[in-house]
Amino acid sequence: MTTKLPNQISGAEAIVHCLLAEGVNLIYGYPGGAIMPFYDELYKFQDQLKHVLVRHEQGAAHAAQGYARATGKVGVAVATSGPGATNLVTGIADAQIDSTPLVCITGQVGRHLLGSDAFQETDIIGISTPITKWNYQITKAAEIPYILAKAFYIARSGRPGPVLVDITKNAQFELFDFEYTPCDHVRSYLPEPQIDMECIHQAAALINEAKKPMIVYGQGVVLGNAEQELKTFIEKTTIPSAWTILGKSALPTAHKHNVGMVGMHGNYAPNVLTNECDVLIAIGMRFDDRVTGDLNTYAKQAKIIHFDIDKAEINKNVKVDVGVLGNCKHTLTALLPWVKENNHSQWQSSFDQLYQVEFKEVIDKEMNPAGPGISMAEVIEQINQATQSQAIVVTDVGQHQMIACRYAQETLPKSNITSGGLGTMGFALPSAIGAKMGAPEREVIAVIGDGGFQMNIQELGTIYQTQTAVKIVVLNNEHLGMVRQWQELFFDSRYASTVMTNPDFVTIAKGYYIPGKRVDQRADLKAAIEEMVAAKTPYFLEIKVENEENVFPMIPSGSSVSDIRLS
């Protein structure tokens, strides 16, 4: 629907109207000189467009990511020129590799100053080109409606991703006749390829003939809203199904055909049996190196079918026998009539048997540690119980991330938010703010290590100012845990710069008027987590865990998935 205003308006006001026309009601940002005209107009629209003042622009990008991941909508982040724009870069890069739809708007010096090294001038277009799906610099107010419409369309369509629009200060002041028409196509851009039914038939034939098929599903299922189609496909064919770290929650964790996580710290059975299956069906995943390990030994015995919306991913890392292009919601729908009902219970039992091996060697020991120290796994299990496995769990990066992804039980879609491809420490706290604002009816638990927590600890200020009821759990092992684990296993325990001397986190949280407590005894763990979950306000919980706990299973870097270690 076209929006047209009767009188000329400024470019700054036009930005606001464009956001409203796109259905945006919440943005994250930090004001500054080059974006100040926009903020001045935003002041007049506070009842329609809520602005969340973060404490650092990286927090704006991550909060917008959390909002996008929890809602499926486009997240919006705003910053000024120069350092404001460059502080967005890490979040933009994270969104690019994890296919998160963002529109980032940055202010820029006036058009007449471009290229003059003016105060707070930075070439953010040049900087962000490799890490955005598309970017553009606006130098005239009249460009604003068309470019922002295009930005939202590109960000949300096809394989989603971040878009950056840089707007010069003069363009924000200029007056023009405003008219806004949402974008529904871009010449030469094909966001969703037409489904090739011949490929569907080839895939179905391989699946129907398979004796030991295995599914690995990724975030493409979540992005395509294809959770129900995946579940129907799995239940019709009874194929054992594993997930990548970003695919988690596309299928309930407790589903009988869910066999766990693949990858470097994934479950034993799906990793080992990747190299024993006869047909590997990859759905909405990109064969990341953390999933495949050594490509020279990855699933060489199997016929491989790859469902993906992005043609560039087909045969990029792993040569496949059948590539099925399209949104997996549509391709799975097309596939379903052609696959036969089947019973792979004997093959499923192979996964069950190896799970028992992992349970004995790893899971039972982590859930029921022999020593007095609290393990990370038992913390996650207590969170499962207190939330009835219905929370959104937002994790940072490191050992706690792997443990949370392994042990968090999830029953609802969009329940797992983490930094997958970029592995960004500092992601969880601001991302949890965005997730809670996007899904206020759900409990949002941020699980963070003591290292990552301190990278964006200032966002406690955003939580206090907005009173966003995020529950923060810091698993404090006084180390950069994952790096320390590698140093122990591969660098003869030379703990170079991984021991953390930490402040009093609970006192810092209380400085931001966020209630909280510290737990260092197992006997206090259950009650503390229940108190945290019951709180109607933000809550901070520091849990002192074992200092030198390692995360297993583990595939050593560059090794075959078959070489997964249990200790």
| pLDDT higher than 90, residue 296 | yes
Task: Please name each of the domains of the chain with its CATH number.
Answer: 3-180 (3.40.50.970), 197-351 (3.40.50.1220), 371-544 (3.40.50.970)
User: What is the reported pLDDT for 546?
Assistant: 95
Q: Supply the pLDDT for residue 130.
A: 98
Place of tokens 């693949």: 262
Contact 439, 467 (CB under 8 A): no
User: What is residue 154's predicted lDDT score, i.e. its pLDDT?
Assistant: 98
Q: Residue 313: pLDDT above 80?
A: yes
Q: Please report how the helices 376-387 and 399-407 are oriented relative to each other, as an axis angle in degrees rounded to 10.
A: 40
Measured between alpha carbons, how far is 157 from 418 in angstroms, rounded to an integer?
22
Q: Could you give the CA distance from residue 208 to residue 205 in angstroms, rounded to a whole number? A: 5
pLDDT digits (tens, 9 = 90+) for 83-108: 999 999 999 999 999 999 999 999 99
Judged against a pLDDT cut of 80, whether residue 6 lies above it is answered with no
> Would you say residue 43 has pLDDT above 80?
yes
The 3-state secondary structure of 33-75, one letter per residue:
HHHHHHHHHHHHHCCCCEEEECCCHHHHHHHHHHHHHHHCCCE
Over residues 200-222, the pLDDT tens digits come to 999 999 999 999 999 999 999 99
Residues in the chain: 567
Average confidence score pLDDT of the chain: 97
CA distance 241 to 216: 6
Percent of the chain with pLDDT over 70: 100
Each as own residue / partner, the long-range contacts of residues 130-134 (CB below 8 Å, 24 or more positions apart, any chain) are 131/89, 131/92, 131/93, 131/96, 131/162, 132/92, 132/96, 132/161, 132/162, 132/163, 132/164, 133/96, 133/160, 133/161, 133/162, 133/163, 134/163
Burial of 184 (0-12, 13-18, 19+ CB in 10 A): exposed
CA dist., res. 196 & res. 244, Å (int): 26
**Gap between the Cα atoms of 159 and 134, Å rounded:** 12
Q: Which among 277, 203, 292 is positioned nearest to 244, based on CA atoms?
A: 292
Q: How far apart are CA 49 and CA 44, in angstroms?
A: 9
pLDDT at 180: 96
> pLDDT value at position 7?
83
Q: Given its phi and psi angles, is residue 377 left (phi above 0), alpha (psi -120 to 50 degrees) or beta?
A: alpha
Q: Is the pLDDT of residue 187 over 90?
A: yes
> What is the per-residue pLDDT for 124?
98
Would you state the pLDDT for residue 2?
A: 83
The 10s digit of each residue's pLDDT in 373-423 is 999 999 999 999 999 999 999 999 999 999 999 999 999 999 999 999 999
The tens digit of pLDDT for each residue in 424-458 reads 999 999 999 999 999 999 999 999 999 999 999 99
Mean pLDDT, range 305-332, rounded to an integer: 97
Q: In this structure, what token pair is assigned to residue 194?
A: 């037409």
141 pLDDT higher than 80: yes
Order the strands of the 416-417 sheet from edge to edge.
Answer: 416-417, 392-395, 444-449, 471-476, 539-544, 516-519
Q: Which residues are catalytic?
A: 57, 119-120, 169, 482
- Look at residue 3 in the predicted model and tell me its pLDDT: 83
User: What average pLDDT does the segment 63-67 reach?
Assistant: 98
d(CA 53, CA 561): 44
pLDDT over 80 (residue 263): yes
Share of the chain above pLDDT 90, in %: 98
Q: Which of 216, 272, 281, 213 is nearest to 242 (CA)?
A: 216
Respond yes or no on whether the N-terminal peptide bond of residue 553 is cis (omega within 30° of 0): yes
Structural tokens at position 257: 């055909």
Q: Which two tokens stand for residue 247?
A: 């695919």
pLDDT of residue 237: 98
Mean pLDDT of 181-197: 95
pLDDT at residue 144, as a whole number: 98
Average pLDDT over residues 480-495: 96
